[in-house]
Amino acid sequence: MTLSIYRPEYPRPQFVRNNWTNLNGEWDFRFDDDNIGENERWYRQFAGDRKIVVPFTYETKASGIGDETAHQYVWYRRSFEVAPEQQGNRVILHFQGVDYTAKVWVNGEYAGNHQGGYAAFSFDVTPFVSFEGANEVVVKAEDGDSATQPRGKQRWRKENFGCWYVQSTGIWQTVWLECVSPSHVASVKMTPDVDANAIRFDYRVNEGSANEPLRLTTSITMDGELIKETTQLVDRAAFSATIDLVSEKREWRVEHWRPGSPKLYEVSFSLTEGDRIVDRVDSYFGMRKIAIVEGQIMLNYDQLYQRLILDQGYWTDSHLTPPSEEAIIADIDAILAMGYNGVRKHQKIEDPRFLYWCDVKGVLVWSEAAATYEFNDEAVDRFTREWLEIVQQQYNHPSIITWVPFNESWGIGNVFADKRQQQFTEAIYHLTKAFDPYRPVIVNDGWEHTVSDILTLHDYEENGESFLKRYADKDAVAGNKFAFNNFRFAMAQGYAYRGQPIIISEFGGIAFKDEQGWGYGNQVDSEEAFLARFKSITQAIKDTPYVSGYCYTQVSDVQQEVNGLLTEDRKPKVALELIRDINLA
């Protein structure tokens, strides 16, 4: 197995430091079906009976194991070293994703735990680390078939069914170490203000035990040219700065981020103690504004018609984990080649490298939470905590233009009439807005909306003429005058359409007859039949004047669901340029 499959690239491209160590690769591994590991103190003396390749889960071929049966408790172990010259620095152990609960020990000492399969987390393990010789990290991951944990498309039965696939258990994204000064930049929230031609930075600094004044310098460049620089005295842990980007060097012009012209500013944050630089972080941002004006979605100051494609982010041999950065780029390039300007990342919080390349290549992203499938106090608690972590972690990506916490009433199955479930969706909407008031939030994508900035509808009608007839009367569609998709209405009971933009956020899903699996509606028997149906329904949506965009299902096949424009191993089923011609017609 080559090194490239271990995902060697820097895992957090929006907050980059040079001093880091990738811990992907071969780890000792063991199933713990009787859950005896903690009682027997495996974290002190671990006897792995097999090897696994991290960051791939044991269910995948890429892991070297490929066992798709459910094991609720699994253990990992590997050794690592921290260079002696790092003594005096803090050692941070990062996990980009562990599904679902992680417990971590370093050199036999408990470092901490985290619950939530899709959010990144970290532990300061300095007290447990030796700076001379080998150290040992042990991870216990706990997963299960609970429908109260945000699972997304991971099955909770023994076999795949419907549109639910093999579960992912344990470490599924990069594990890495970072050494930082006791005084360091903890986080920076970046908010573009296109109207004011300015960028706001909300800093959090760990002041450590500095003996001299701390100062933070923010340097903004584009294409290597310094645009603006400012230095502030650090007199508290949290503070802000707003920087005007208008510059004579750029002919008084502020560059905007948009599809087709994804201009990015580079920014570095340098923390000095006295005259000595103790921390430096490199990042970037895009100047863009997403807004809703008189029922239309606007990007910067232009009306935005969204041509999205549903993307579930599964691969044949590595499932939820992208097998390589090259595979991520290839998917994005294929999406652009087919004439789409964005993706609805469906039921998955994607690898930060994917979002980075969407930022770089100018691809719009809807970020969607993984659903629970029951509604009770535990599900509310689990979902809320994880969703807020995710929104904060993804906030700085300019490509993300929409938050989607709920889909098709999954986990809120009685939201149409149940006041408690409605109140839950309202709470999530307002909590999201409290942290990020600048992006639209779609509550319950597909139907039965409560409060929502966009009205989205899922409709797998095959015939364009039938679609046009059904959607001829906007007031009937948005005003619950008729039901569709198994007696679903656009709005939940007690809520009314308020003039929001309308998007058909799932449609299509066409499969070929010779494929083993299922698609939506009748399967087609030739490329000509596929293109005729694809064109008919796509053009009908574009011909509906009040619809602001669409999202086609989907980029690629996923296990038994074979309605992708690409096969699961990313081979086009029809020529990409033919799809592009229809999308851009």
User: Would you state the structure tokens that stand for residue 311, as one six-digit string?
Assistant: 């993307």
The predicted-structure confidence for 186-233, as pLDDT tens digits, reads as follows 999 999 999 999 999 999 999 988 789 999 999 999 999 999 999 999
Task: Give, as one character, the DSSP assignment of residue 561.
Answer: B
Question: What is the C-alpha to C-alpha distance for residues 304 and 306, in angstroms, rounded to an integer?
Answer: 6
Residue spans of alpha helices (H) in 439-560: 464-470, 474-478, 527-542
Question: Residue 380: phi, psi to the nearest 5?
Answer: -60, -45
Q: Count CA atoms within 13 Å of residue 293 on its CB side.
A: 10
Question: Cα-Cα-Cα-Cα dihedral of 354, 359, 360, 364, to 10°?
Answer: 90
Contact predicate 544/484, CB 8 Å: no
The predicted-structure confidence for 231-242, as pLDDT tens digits, reads as follows 999 999 999 999
Domain boundaries, the chain: 3-180, 184-285, 290-584
How many CB atoms neighbour CB 471 within 10 A? 23
Question: What is the C-alpha to C-alpha distance for residues 7 and 431, in angstroms, rounded to an integer?
Answer: 34
pLDDT at 208: 86
- Could you tell me the maximum CA-CA distance found in the chain, to the nearest angstrom? 74
Question: What is the C-alpha to C-alpha distance for residues 166 and 185, in angstroms, rounded to an integer?
Answer: 39
CA 324-327-331 angle, 5° bins? 150
pLDDT at 150: 98
Question: What is the C-alpha to C-alpha distance for residues 498 and 492, in angstroms, rounded to an integer?
Answer: 13
CATH topology of domain 184-285: Immunoglobulin-like (2.60.40)
3-state secondary structure of 164: strand
Q: For strand 134-142 and strand 101-106, is the pairing parallel, antiparallel, or unpaired?
A: antiparallel
Decide if pLDDT at 147 tops 50: yes
Give the closest residue to 448 by CA, choosing from 403, 468, 478: 478
Question: Worst-scoring range by mean pLDDT, 61-65, 104-108, 122-126, 205-209?
Answer: 205-209
Give the mean pLDDT of 3-26.
90
pLDDT at 3: 42
Tokens 């023994």 belong to residue: 158
Report in angstroms the alpha-carbon separations of 183 from 130, 258, 328: 21, 36, 35
Question: What is the C-alpha to C-alpha distance for residues 299 and 288, in angstroms, rounded to an integer?
Answer: 7
Q: Which residue has the higher pLDDT, 484 or 171?
A: 171
Question: What is the C-alpha to C-alpha distance for residues 408 and 416, in angstroms, rounded to an integer?
Answer: 11
State the first-to-last Cα distance of the chain, in angstroms, to the nearest integer: 44
Question: Cα-Cα-Cα-Cα dihedral of 344, 347, 352, 356, to 10°?
Answer: 0
Cβ-proximal residues to 471 (8 Å cutoff; 6+ apart), any chain? 477, 544, 547
> What share of the chain has pLDDT > 70, as a percent?
99
Tokens 């994508």 belong to residue: 445
Contact predicate 265/247, CB 8 Å: no
Question: What is the C-alpha to C-alpha distance for residues 357 and 61, in angstroms, rounded to an integer?
Answer: 26
pLDDT at 2: 41
Question: What is the C-alpha to C-alpha distance for residues 400 and 257, in angstroms, rounded to an integer?
Answer: 12
Question: What is the C-alpha to C-alpha distance for residues 151 and 168, in angstroms, rounded to an integer?
Answer: 9
Question: What is the C-alpha to C-alpha distance for residues 144 and 307, in angstroms, rounded to an integer?
Answer: 37
pLDDT at 5: 55
Cβ-proximal residues to 318 (8 Å cutoff; 6+ apart), any chain? 56, 60, 61, 62
Cβ-proximal residues to 559 (8 Å cutoff; 6+ apart), any chain? 160, 165, 166, 314, 517, 568
CATH topology of domain 290-584: TIM Barrel (3.20.20)
CATH 3.20.20.140 at 3-180, yes or no: no
pTM of the model as a whole: 0.97
Sheet with 364-368, side-by-side order of all strands: 400-404, 364-368, 342-345, 306-311, 547-553, 502-508, 455-458
Q: What is the mean pLDDT of the chain?
A: 96
- pLDDT classification of 1: cutoffs 50, 70, 90: very low
pLDDT at 251: 80
Question: What is the C-alpha to C-alpha distance for residues 132 and 542, in angstroms, rounded to an integer?
Answer: 65
Judge residue 20's burial from the number of C-beta atoms within 10 Å of its C-beta, 0-12 exposed, 13-18 middle, 19 or more buried: middle
The predicted-structure confidence for 357-395, as pLDDT tens digits, reads as follows 999 999 999 999 999 999 999 999 999 999 999 999 999
The predicted-structure confidence for 164-188, as pLDDT tens digits, reads as follows 999 999 999 999 999 999 999 999 9
The predicted-structure confidence for 256-272, as pLDDT tens digits, reads as follows 999 999 999 999 999 99
Give the mean pLDDT of 78-94.
97
3-state secondary structure of 352: helix
User: Would you state the structure tokens that stand for residue 484, as one six-digit string?
Assistant: 């569709």
Tokens 């005259």 belong to residue: 275
492: left (phi over 0), alpha (psi -120 to 50) or beta: beta
Tokens 């490329």 belong to residue: 527
User: Would you state the structure tokens that stand for residue 55, as one six-digit string?
Assistant: 């960051």
3-state secondary structure of 341: coil
Question: What is the C-alpha to C-alpha distance for residues 85 and 399, in angstroms, rounded to an integer?
Answer: 39
pLDDT at 247: 86
The predicted-structure confidence for 533-552, as pLDDT tens digits, reads as follows 999 999 999 999 999 999 99
Give DSSP secondary structure letters for 383-404: HHHHHHHHHHHHTT-TTEEEEE
Give the mean pLDDT of 82-95.
97
3-state secondary structure of 335: helix
Decide if pLDDT at 252 tops 90: no
423: left (phi over 0), alpha (psi -120 to 50) or beta: alpha
- pLDDT classification of 87: cutoffs 50, 70, 90: very high
Decide if pLDDT at 4 tops 90: no
Question: What is the C-alpha to C-alpha distance for residues 52 and 24, in angstroms, rounded to an integer?
Answer: 10
- pLDDT classification of 485: cutoffs 50, 70, 90: confident
> What size, in residues, is the chain?
585
